[in-house]
Amino acid sequence: MKDTALYEKLQYLKLTSPKQVLQAVAQEWNLPYKALLGQERSRKFAVPKQFSTFIVRYVLDFPLEATALFLRKNSKTIVSRCNAISNLYDTDKEFKELVDKFINNSPHKYTKIFYGYCPKCVKICVSCGEEF
């Protein structure tokens, strides 16, 4: 999954914890935070749950078991959600636009800045200027 276009785009988000991911996704989809941990299976809830799972698993680089434990799901569900989001991003233009909006509206985004000919890249938050 780390070689997908979706993964590459999401690398510029400054989300550092699963809780922060769920809060950001819930806010973007206008859902209560707890809804992303609930049992509801309708599309209104399924896509945000899958999207937040993908971010926790691949962008935060959480192990499969830790992702499953935090989201209160089994590992098969985590793998299924990540595959679904990756496929949706590749095939659904509306979802791709939604992801772009999510990234662009994020209060903290990284940008890569190169200094001279130095091969070392420094990540800097676009909104607050903090280096990481």
In a domain, 10, yes or no: yes
Which pLDDT band, with edges at 50, 70 and 90, does 76 fall under? very high
Q: Is residue 87 part of a domain?
A: yes
Please indicate, yes or no, if residue 75 is contained in any of the structural domains.
yes
- Considering its fold, how many domains does the chain have in total? 1
> Is the CA virtual torsion 63, 92, 27, 80 positive or negative?
negative
Coil/strand/helix, residue 79: helix
> 25: domain CATH number?
1.10.1750.10
Question: How many other C-beta atoms are found inside a 10 Å radius of the C-beta of residue 24?
Answer: 20
Average pLDDT over residues 67-81: 89
Write out pLDDT tens, residues 83-119. Answer: 888 888 889 888 888 888 887 776 655 444 333 333 4
Q: Dump pLDDT digits (tens) for 24-49.
A: 888 888 899 888 888 888 888 998 99
* Other Cβ atoms closer than 10 A to 64: 13
Say if 130 falls within a structural domain: no
Task: Look up the domain containing 21 and give its range.
Answer: 5-125
pTM: 0.71
